Structure 1
């Protein structure tokens, strides 16, 4: 089946345009590293009740190698079934798409048949492709599902892409948004310039994936010049691995930012701006910055394990685990920034989510 932007329900598209919290959905496994259906269901219920506007499934945080394990359709189906059975609230469901064109299009067909509205397209499988080849790949996959571009940081397999690439990407008619996650301010601005140069700032929505700069991405305007005139764009929301944990707090944070921007002269309080460094400090522990992101998935699992949402931190790859010293860093973050957690919210609802 082929899905177009016009096929997305109007209410969901409007919410996505206004900006929402979209957690990158982790994968629940048991001690034998097999799919743990009960805890996977609990995670989805948690994100729904925490106020997430959508879910991203089959993405980096879900572990890309669900594909080699034959779990891609199983995991996508579980998430959308659990979301629909738990709430009648419309949500944006986004599927991760990977691989060369044939594989990415096959995954787009699976996602669309299950009811997903958009595909987050990773280009990590095409490290030697030219930008012309990458654009041709994106155009082909966009025939099957509305696309969200993915500027993945190079430390975990992403490609360095030019502003011209993002201009050409934004001109593809079935492109919906771009997740900007290079963890690099220069490359983030390249995406902004590309969208502005394409005259696509009102059609292609920016979502932050810069887990090291969440608050300021959402709070600050980004201005690029076009034909001698400044054009200002803003990140609408976030699609983040970091928001797979402490999600109820993330929804409050986004609401607070939007409220401050909408009030009075739109100035931001020093207290809000100061949260940027605190949230980034939390991310440094969760994403294992000390060890070059070695434990970025396991670190999020550890937070969810402490809350009872996962039984352990197991990943499909037995070598993928916490980095040296990461556990102590997570302990430090809990001690210093525990007020940013949503532990009390999880504790009050956990039994219901696991039922």
Structure 2
């Protein structure tokens, strides 16, 4: 896996990419030393963004000790935190706080907890860190509203209204990501929302076995009706002809 990852990093660099997102999904049985060796090899080619992917969709548990060592790799520029787990999220943030690094950006990938991640000040040992933005599958839909949400989370104080909005977004994400069926329909669910807006012709996935789960389409309809302030249908409709020329 390391040789392939290095080749892919070289390809990214050749095409002008600024950084590469480093998945460790192919190293599920490797020990911590092997993971760090792998990360260092890729970081020797291109700046890297760490990726804590939840085990339910192919990731693995990465302990505090791993993130401490990962944060010590000079060419790490950011970390995407997406374990869908509060304890594991805190492991990453604590490790970065203890590392003393101030040049590593944190991004939430926790689609189940977007607002809380973005508005929370995290403090460890007297050092406060914030999650600066999101790398989120959820933001592939209703994107105009996502931009507004990010701005609001950065500028506004945490209020009951903002926390309530976070719950509504999580409820919507449960429908899009098919949480009820272990995320089986997560890609198809996003495609379905884009199809309904006219941005896609269908919901086909690279894996022909992936599709909407039973009842998922109805759940997407429910959250769309329940939270009209979260979707950007009108914005998309205004620009659809322009975008699809």
Q: Report the TM-score range of the alignment, normalised by the length of the smaller protein.
A: over 0.9
The DSSP-based 3-state class of the residue aligned with 2:123 is strand
Give the equivalent residue in structure 1 for 2:160. Answer: 270
Residue 222 of structure 1: how far off its partner (Å): 1.1
Aligned pairs for 1:229-268 within 5 A: 230-260=126-156, 267-268=157-158
1:302 to 2:192 alignment: yes
Structure 1 segments, 4+ long, off by >4 Å, are none
Question: What are the Cα deviations for residues 5-32 of structure 1, in whole angstroms up to 9, with x where unaligned?
Answer: xxxxxxxxxxxxxxxxxxxxxxxxxxxx
Distance 2:229 2:70 in 1: 40
Residue 17 (structure 1) aligns with: none
SS of 2:205's partner is coil
Q: Which sections of structure 1, spanning at least 5 residues, go unmatched?
A: 1-99, 261-266
> What is the aligned-residue RMSD (CA, Å)?
0.9
Corresponding residue number in structure 2 for 1:334: 224
Secondary structure of the corresponding residue to residue 125 of structure 1:
helix
How many residue pairs match? The answer is 245
1:167 equivalent to 2:68? Answer yes
Deviation at 1:239, TM superposition (A): 0.5
SS of structure 1 residue aligned to 2:25:
coil
Equivalent position of 2:105 in the other structure: 205
Q: Which residue of 1 aligns with 2:56?
A: 155
Question: What SS does the corresponding residue of 2:127 show, helix, strand or coil?
Answer: strand
**Residue number among 206, 214, 225 corresponding to 1:324 in the alignment:** 214
Aligned-pair distance for 1:192?
0.9
Displacement of 1:269 in angstroms is 2.6
Q: Distance in 2 between matches of 1:197 and 1:245?
A: 35
Q: Deviations over 1:188-236 (max 9, x none)?
A: 0000111112112x111110000000001000111222xxxx2211100
Pairing partner for 1:287 from 158, 174, 177: 177
SS in structure 1 opposite 2:51? strand
Aligned to 1:338, what secondary structure does the other structure show?
A: coil
* Structure 1 residue aligned with 2:17: 116
Q: Which has the higher contact order (CA 8 A, sep 6+)?
A: 1
CA distance in 1, matches of 2:16, 2:198: 29
What CA deviation, in whole Å up to 9, does each residue of 1:258-289 have, x standing for no partner? 121xxxxxx32321121110000000000000
1:126 matches 2:50:
no
Task: Report the alpha carbon displacement of residue 317 of structure 1 after superposing the two structures with TM.
Answer: 1.1
Equivalent of 1:220 in 103, 115, 120: 120
How far did 1:184 drift? 0.2
SS at the partner of 2:29?
Answer: coil
